[in-house]
Chains A and B, each alone.
Chain A
Amino acid sequence: MTNPYRAIPSTIEDVIEETPLIKTFVVRPEEEVTFATGQFVEVTVPGIGESPFTPSSNPAVKDKMEITIMNAGRVTKLLHDMKPKVTVGLRGPLGKGYPLNTFKNKDILIVGGGVGLAPLRSLLFALFNEIGNFNKIVVRYGAKTPNDIVYKRSIPEWSKMDKVDFKVTVDRGDDTWKGNVGLITTVLDNLPVDVNNSVAIVCGPPIMMKFVTLKLLDTGHKPKDIYLSMEKNMSCGIGKCGHCRIDKFHVCQDGPVLTYEELKHSHEIWD
């Protein structure tokens, strides 16, 4: 029987600074860890602890994985101090991936906030891998300031792709910022998607997900077509330890992505 608690030693190959608070780590595990986009891994900082992250890289790349991490807590602070060649641990993949099969022949709306673009970047790569299967990909991404935008080098490239409509907004601009200024909800009106044949995938801080969901419902998106990343406190990652429970779900095992249809009657989902 495989032991789901065992972490696979993995080497940090590169560290890319995205913003002052966010870094992308390129990690090569000793044993191949293949994942479906949307699944997550537990990253071990030896001797200190573990934290869950959804990889931000292309799931088609098998030998290494990129994980984009914000410096937000005890474990992530230590990760941010790590340099290439350091060993960490990986457990996973855990949870369920995005149901890409049900997304086929639909308009895909992706709404991200802050570091929430990380799992969505992996999703974008997975969609690009088979772009013929989807009608179009509309991305709306919000960050606090232009400095807080992740994947700055890639966004212009993605924006130029066929079938892709990518717009960025910031809460507060600066002297150089020529794009939209305003909360993410201000760029969700009159979206070029057919609400009757689309899915909306949302990932960001809870408060952002709450207001984006309300906005999407307002504009006619159906609860079953709204996918939310409910990332909670997760310790075991395999539905045993109880920390991430919402309603009847263990988010780690039944998610981490759940539809609003599944959660609409649940308590304490936005906190």
Chain B
Amino acid sequence: MKTFFISLNNFNEWIEALKSDFKIFLPYSKDAKYIISSPALRYEFNSYRVSVPTLKNVLFTAREKVAPEYETKKGKNIVFGLKSCDMASLPVLDFIFLNGAFVDPLYKENRDNTVVVSSDCIDSLESCFCTLVGNNPYPEKYFDINLSPLDDGYLVNIASEKGEKAISAKLLVQPSKDHLKEVELNRAKIKGHVSGQVVKQGFNVITNPQKAVMDNFTSPVWEEAAKTCVECGGCNLVCPTCHCFILSEHNFDKYRQYDACQYKGFALVAGGGNPRKKLFQRLRNRYEKKFDFFQKNINLNGCTGCSRCIQACIGKIDMREVMKKLVNK
């Protein structure tokens, strides 16, 4: 990890310089709901995570051709505005798409061609709960470049060669002790804010999400929680780690498109067998996948605490409330 300081002027110069080589995804207001790719927009530091897209939507898009030849996205991407909860999705997606007997060639190409620029949170949404699932509201790994906001610029952490190549050394200077100190203070403050919020909301009883889910697998809480689920799949779509897709066939052209485990037919087999016929089983499946499957495989939670599913749910199902009820049963 290399640490530098960049002034606001140099930062803007950097963004301008990137436009010739990269497709840039930018947040464009402090409370940005979106990161979008438009060369006309100016970068505006976002205080907390945006609504959409997640990093997933850049690396693995809603519908893409994968065979006989995959649809190659020409050129390089650079994505700004990502937060710690977005970064925590990367090892999860990498485990799925880059590991195992087969590497997903399209994901790999997108991953190799994308520079990931994250930044520290300086505020949060009321639904944010990263500290409950093992993350901090500031990125510590998985990024190429991380930005920590300062009064007169940013502290720049560069973690990869890809990151190093994306920014001219001429724009960077060594950080002062005061810069480092300021970042440290900001980080302590936001961590205190998010974990304090979790305590105030009473969700700190969820000390071990995996245990909460698996020890209470047959709890009536699941059926109760599923009562307001309308099976829209919104939670799956907005989730930065939900990776499930369906491969569709068009005369040997294969397209993969997002699928949702909340849909009734998700696990249906020929002849009518279905291990998750009931809605509450499908709701529970999402928690099992996030907190048990990924813990057992990579020792990480598949939930990053971003709370997008809480915001997206039209049935007002709150993952934190469900787990709190499981724990307090």
Contact = CB atoms under 8 A, between A and B. Distances in A.
Interface residues of A, number: 46
Contacts of A242: 96, 243-245, 259, 261, 289
Interface in B231-286: 243-252, 254, 256, 259, 261, 266-271, 273-277, 281
Contacts, number: 128
A5 B273 contact: no
Nearest to A239: B100
B102 A235 contact: no
Contact of A73 (B100, B271, B274, B281): B271
Nearest to B107: A240
B296 interface: yes
A211 B217 CA distance: 23
B102 A239 contact: yes
B71 to A, nearest CB: 11
B245 A7 contact: no
B252 A46 contact: yes
B199 interface: no
A223 to B, nearest CB: 18
B97 interface: yes
Contact of A253 (B101, B247, B276, B296): B101
Interface string A235-268: 1101111111111101001000000000000011
Interface residues of B, number: 47
A75 B105 contact: no
A73 B271 CA distance: 6
Contacts of A238: 100-102, 104
A240 B245 contact: yes
Contacts of A246: 275
A47 B249 contact: yes
A46 B67 CA distance: 13
A210 interface: no
A231 B243 CA distance: 21
B217 to A, nearest CB: 6
A233 interface: yes
Given A7-B252, A240-B104, A253-B101, A248 B273 contact: no
A45 B249 contact: yes
B244 A241 contact: yes
Given A73-B270, A232-B267, A253-B101, 9 more contacts: A7-B68, A46-B249, A75-B270, A206-B273, A236-B256, A240-B96, A242-B96, A242-B245, A268-B276
23 contacts: A2-B102, A3-B105, A5-B256, A7-B254, A46-B249, A46-B251, A47-B251, A51-B270, A73-B269, A76-B270, A232-B269, A233-B269, A235-B259, A238-B104, A239-B102, A240-B245, A241-B247, A243-B244, A247-B296, A250-B100, A267-B217, A271-B275, A271-B277
Interface of B: 66-70, 96-97, 100-105, 108, 217, 243-252, 254, 256, 259, 261, 266-271, 273-277, 281, 288-289, 292-293, 296-297
Of all A-B residue pairs in the complex, the 9 with the closest CB atoms, nearest first, are A73-B270, A242-B244, A5-B67, A248-B296, A271-B275, A4-B102, A72-B270, A5-B66, A268-B275
